[in-house]
Amino acid sequence: MSWVVPILVALAAVFLIRTYLFEMVGVMGDSMQPNLENKERMMVIKPLQIKRNSVIVFDAYGEDPTAAKNTNYVKRVIGLPGDKVASHNGNLYVNGQKVSQSYISEAERTSGTGNWTLSRLAKQRNWKYRGATVPKGKYFVLGDHRSVSEDSRYWGYVSAKKVMGVVKIPFWQSTKTYRTNVNSMAN
């Protein structure tokens, strides 16, 4: 019986860490290339503040109508609550200001992103909320590989309640450029 208490304490510690601090998850699919590759492992830090350009993991069930239960997506936050987001000729604009997209190629920006405004997307896709800004408690997200990513351009906003946490690439993984593009781009 002397071994039961340490095992229970260890299990409780693992549960608390995974619930409130961080956990390791894997990328499934190509929507975040070139910065995150299919089957790449990453840390999701739970108490971090979500900023514009943060890469997040969220429960896609109920957000994307095609997502099954227990399906998580990895995407980049482009618009925060209250932001007005638009895309024109490969440039993203948030609140009228052109934003840097140095984390993806010019080809992805110009051919993959498209030309749109939030209100135009909402009308075309028949979203419930059709305003010109990101609603309170929601985020507008895009994949880095814009030409293949199913993201907010198609199914709308991500509820803050569905966000698991912010992605961080460990120092021993990938290259410095990709770690910077994922870990340090948030502003």
- At residue 114, φ and ψ (nearest 5 deg) are 90, 175
Place of tokens 């997200």: 141
Whole-number Å distance between alpha carbons of 146 and 112? 5
Pull the structure tokens for residue 12. Answer: 């409780």
Close Cβ partners of 7 (under 8 Å, ≥ 6 residues apart) = none
Distance CA 61, CA 67 (A): 5
Among candidate residues 31, 54, 152, 174, the one labeled active-site is 31
Alpha-carbon distance of 40 to 28, in angstroms, equals 8
Residue type, 74: V
Q: Is 31 a catalytic residue?
A: yes
- The answer to whether residues 142 and 75 touch, using CB atoms and an 8 Å cutoff, is yes
Q: Is 2 a catalytic residue?
A: no
Q: How many CB atoms lie within 10 A of CB 163?
A: 19
Q: Which residue among 54, 75, 162, 174 is the active-site one?
A: 75
Residue with tokens 């946490």: 165
* Active site residue ranges: 31, 75
